[in-house]
Amino acid sequence: MREAEVIIIGAGPAGLGAAVEAAKYGCGSVVVFDENRSCGGQLIKQLHKFFGSAEHQAGVRGFVLGQKLEEEALSLGVRIMTNSVVWGVFRENKLGVFTSDGKVQQWGFKKLIIATGAMENALAFSGWTLPGVMGAGACQTMMNMHRVLPGKRVLMVGSGNVGLIVTYQLLQAGAEQVTVIEAAPSIGGYGVHAAKIARAGVPILCSHTITEAIGPNGYVEKAVIQKLDEQWQPIPGTETELDVDMICLSVGLSPLVELARLAQCRMAYLPTLGGYVPIHDQNMRTSEPDVYVAGDLAGVEEASTALDEGRLAGVAVAEALGHPSADAAEAEKGAIRLRLRNLRSGSYGDKRQAGKENLMGRMSE
């Protein structure tokens, strides 16, 4: 059996942030597994400049941030194994991994940090299985990773930041017309993202839903949208047909908690964090003493918070293994916690902050 002092599952911002701090604070062997071909998680397809502050490399484009984190981790001696799927978490701190050469390996760890992220939610409506209906993340992967524009006349369902940003990137990639609909009475994402696409001529229709995708030839050719009343019920007679060749769904994310469940982490259901999430303490430690979590699987937020949660878990793991002095660890963790508190302040962060406090409160139950 192979062994590492610290194993991290997921090489997105949370996993890489954790790897960098764990290595920086003295962990001898840090191994990161990721099922994708390249590391960076969702960062690799984020072309826009990031929000946040200097500590989060604000103003830097997402994919560049991913590259910087990878370089930093490698320079600190972190081993990153891509194309490697962790499929099992077993008793006595063991993992099962399918590696890139098609082999099954068993890995032992002293501490495990799970940073598996989240997956897109789907939305069922008549015709939703037609080719041309896809998640916004899938569309983004096709455009920004594989240089394929999957549609030119697009209906974007959902106006959270993902929907708004992918709409912007569709326009940059050459889409002719995008319409955004939102079931809620107001736009979900940041006003600045909405303003970018509004001045590019994209209508954003609140209190609207999709009721049907029409495709007599076996692919999407039309979308039927309908206005919703104050109880979110479709208003008869308000159906409108749009000529589209793609329907993008950006209707939220759900934490990827399967491995945390296998690790026996206690869970809580918190809609404000995306659904079932592992409860954890101020150090990102779960109900299982050797298992930590960071990033979207511990509550769907954004890259900056994922990065800082990862850093926090990395420092905490190094501390638990006896590497940095308690004073040094406390100072670093305090600085990170302050940044996280700041990122969760304001009207866009209040609910997430409350959700996180709820999760941490349950640890003592």
Is residue 112 within 8 A of residue 290, CB to CB? The reply is yes
Of the two residues 59 and 361, which places its CB atom closer to another protein in the complex? Answer: 59
**Binding residue (CB under 8 A) for another protein from 38, 48, 121, 360:** 48
Locate 242 and state its tokens: 């749009």
Instruction: Measure the CA–CA gap between 91 and 290, rounded to whole angstroms.
Output: 11
Name which position in 67, 141, 272, 342 contacts another protein (CB under 8 A). Answer: 342
Nearer to another protein, 161 or 283 (CB): 161
Q: Which of residues 170-199 bind another protein (CB under 8 A)?
A: 171-172, 180, 185-187, 190-199
Residue 189 beta carbon to another protein: minimum distance, rounded to whole angstroms = 9
Smallest separation (angstroms) from another protein to the CB of 168? 8
Under 8 Å between Cβ of 219 and 130: yes
Give min distance, CB of 47 to another protein, in A. Answer: 9
How would you class 290 by CB atoms within 10 Å of its CB: exposed for 0-12, middle for 13-18, buried for 19 or more? middle
Three-state SS for 89? strand
Give the H or E element holding residue 353.
helix 350-362
Distance CA 177, CA 157 (A): 14
Q: Which helix (H) or strand (E) holds 177?
A: strand 177-182
Which CB sits closer to another protein, 37 or 49?
49
CB of 58 or CB of 148, closer to another protein: 58
- Residue 265, interface with another protein (CB under 8 A)? no
β pairing state of 267-270 and 204-206: unpaired
Tell whether residue 66 is a contact of another protein (CB under 8 A): no
Of the residues 92, 271, 346, 364, which one makes contact with another protein according to CB under 8 A: 346
Q: Which residues bind another protein (CB under 8 A)?
A: 48-54, 58-59, 61, 171-172, 180, 185-187, 190-202, 204, 206, 304, 342-343, 345-349
